[in-house]
Chain A
Amino acid sequence: MKLVIGIVRPDKANDVLEALYRAEVRGFSLSRVQGHGGELERVETYRGTRVKMGLEEKVRFEIAVSEEFVQPAIDALVEGGRTGEVGDGKIFVVPLERAVRIRTGETDHGAVTPVGQ
C-alpha cells in the first residue's frame, strides 16, 4: 500500500479527475493548498503597494492505493496535470502503514479497494 500525493495546478484538477476515473482509481481526497515550487514569482499591484506573490494556489490529491494501482495513479496525475510549463507540480509516493474503512472495519487492501471490485 502506498499513499500517492499529487500537487497540481487548480485549473488542471478536472483533467486529473478524468484521468483517475479512466484509470479506475476511485478513492481519493482533494484539498486546496498554497505552495512554492521554484516557479518565478508573480508581481501584483494593489494601489501603491507592489507585492511579490511567493505562494501559488495548488490542488493536492491524496490517493491511498494497493500496489497494483500505484503506477496507474501516478500516470493519471502526470497525464492530467502536465502543461509543460514551470509550476505543474509534484508527485510524492510514501509507504502506508495501515488503512481502515470506518463503515465496515475492513483493513489494508480491503480498505483501499473500492466497494464492488
Chain B
Amino acid sequence: MTTGIWTLAAAGEVNAGDTAWMLAATALVLLMTPALGLFYAGLVRSKNTLNTFMMCIAALAVATVMWALVGYSLAFDGDNAIIGGLGHAFLHGVTFEPRDGTTIPHLLFFAFQATFCIVTTALVSGAVVERMRFAPFLVFAALWSVLVYAVLAHWAFGGGWLQAQGTLDFAGGVPVEMGSGFSALAAALVVGARKDYGRQALLPHNAVYVLLGAGLLWFGWFGFNGGSGFSTGHPSVLAFTNTLLTPACTLAVWFVLDLIRGRQVTAIGAATAIIVGCVGITPAGGFVSPQWAMILGAVAALPSYAIIVWRPRTRVDETLDVLAAHGIAGLTGIVFIGFFAQQSWNGVSDGLLYGDAGQLGSQLMAAAVTPVYAFAMTFALLKVIGAITPLRGTPHEEAVGMDIVHHGEEAYVTGEGAMLIIPEAGVEEDLPVADPV
C-alpha cells in the first residue's frame, strides 16, 4: 500500500468519490473472508466442514477486535522502522479527518485495513484444519493478527523499514500473501499432520463450494487490489483491471499444466489457479502495465503448481496449500515488480528492465526477510500456546470429526433420529453435551 506516494491535488481534504469507492471496496474485501471459508470448507472432509468454515468466521471476530485494540496502531501509527506506536490504540484519534496521504476519512482507512488483517488471519487456518482444537486456534488467531500481521503491515505499508528502503507492495504481497503462506508452513510443522495423512486419501468433499468460494474471492479481490490506491485514481484503475487480467492468464496456463500432467483439466485446480493469479497480482497491481500483468499471471502459475504437486509427497501436511497458493505466488509477484515495474504506468519507479536495478534489490530484500520473520514468529507463537494447552484433540476426536466435537453441530444433518430436548417434558437436561460416540 502506498500511503503518501500518490498525494493527490486535493490531499488534506476528504474526497467524496474516493470515499464512496473505498466504502464499497471495504465491503468487497470483507466478503473475501466468508468466501475463503466456503473455499476451505469444500476442500476438507464433510465431517470437518463447519469447523473449517468457523476458523474463517473466527478471524472476523478476533482479528477485528485485536485490530481495533492494538493491531491498527502498531501497523499505522508513526514511521518507526520496526513497529508502530500505540497512539491509535483502541481507535484513539481515528476520526473523520483524512488519513495522512489519502483523501479518505481516517476511520474508513482503518476499516479497509481491518478487512485485510481479517482475511490474512483466516488464510493461515488452511494449514491446520481437520485437527487443531478450536479454542487454541482462537488464541492463536488473536495473537497472530498482532505479532505477525500488524508488524509486517507496518514494514510494508505503515512507514516501516521495508517501505523506507523502497520495497513496492501495492496491496499486500508482504503482510498478506508471504505473511500467511510462510506462517502456514510453520503452523503445519508445529501442529503436525492429520492422523491419516499419507495413509489414506483425504479428499475434498465438495468441489462446487471450492469453485464458488474461489469465484467470490476473485470478486472481493477487486476491492482488495482496486482499493489499495485509496482513491479512484490511475493506480486503482490499473490494479483493478490487472486483477481481471492476471488470474485469467494463470487459469489458462493452469489448464495447460493440468493437461500436460494428467490429460484432464481439473475443477479444483482451476479454483486454485484463480487464487494464485489474484495473489500474484496483489503486490504488483498498481505497478506493472496490463501487458506485464498478463505475463505475471502465466509466470506465477509455474512455481505454485510445482509446489502443489510436490508438497503432498512430503510429510508436511500443510493441508490446504497456503504456502504454494499465497506464500510462493506472493513472492513471485513481489520479485516480478523488481523486473517489470514501469514508471510510465505507475508514476513511482522503474524495475530492472526499465533501467532501475536498485528496485529489484529492494524487492529481493522483502522476499528474503518476510518469510523468515513470518515463519519464525508463527513457529514460536504456536510453541508457546502449545506449551499451555494442547493444540490438537485425540485421534478419536479427529476420527469423529471437528464439527461434532468442537461445535456440537453437523453440516449435513438429516434430522432422522433427532429428538427434541424439552426440559418441561421431563427429558433430563444434563446429558453429556457433544460427547462423541
Report A's interface with B, CB cutoff 8 A: 9, 11-12, 14, 34, 36, 39-46, 49-56, 83, 85-87
Residues of B in contact (CB 8 Å), total 27
**Are A55 and B416 in touch, CB under 8 angstroms?**
yes
A87 contact set on B, CB distance < 8 A: 437
* B274 at the A interface (CB under 8 A): no
Q: Could you say which of B408, B413, B427, B434 has the most chain A C-beta atoms within 10 Å of its C-beta?
A: B408
Identify which of B401, B404, B419, B435 contacts A51 (C-beta below 8 A): B419
Residue of A nearest to B398 (CB): A11
**Are A34 and B417 in touch, CB under 8 angstroms?**
yes
**Are A54 and B408 in touch, CB under 8 angstroms?**
no
A56 contact set on B, CB distance < 8 A: 437
Q: A11-B399, A51-B420 are in contact. Are A45 and B414 (CB under 8 A)?
A: no
Docked Cα-Cα span, A50 to B427, in Å, equals 11
Docked Cα-Cα span, A49 to B419, in Å, equals 10
**Are A51 and B434 in touch, CB under 8 angstroms?**
no
Given A43-B421, A53-B417, A53-B418, 7 more pairs with CB closer than 8 A: A11-B401, A40-B435, A40-B437, A45-B409, A51-B421, A55-B418, A87-B437
Q: A51-B418, A54-B419 are in contact. Are A44 and B410 (CB under 8 A)?
A: yes
Docked Cα-Cα span, A85 to B409, in Å, equals 21
Docked Cα-Cα span, A97 to B396, in Å, equals 39
Residue of B nearest to A39 (CB): B437
**Are B396 and A85 in touch, CB under 8 angstroms?**
yes
Q: A14-B200, A42-B434 are in contact. Are A83 and B399 (CB under 8 A)?
A: yes
* B10 at the A interface (CB under 8 A): no
Docked Cα-Cα span, A85 to B425, in Å, equals 31
* B262 at the A interface (CB under 8 A): no
A14 contact set on B, CB distance < 8 A: 196, 200
**Are B436 and A42 in touch, CB under 8 angstroms?**
yes
A49 contact set on B, CB distance < 8 A: 420
16 contacting pairs across A/B (C-beta < 8 A):
A11-B47, A14-B196, A14-B200, A36-B417, A39-B437, A42-B435, A43-B431, A44-B413, A44-B434, A46-B413, A52-B419, A52-B431, A53-B418, A54-B419, A55-B418, A56-B437
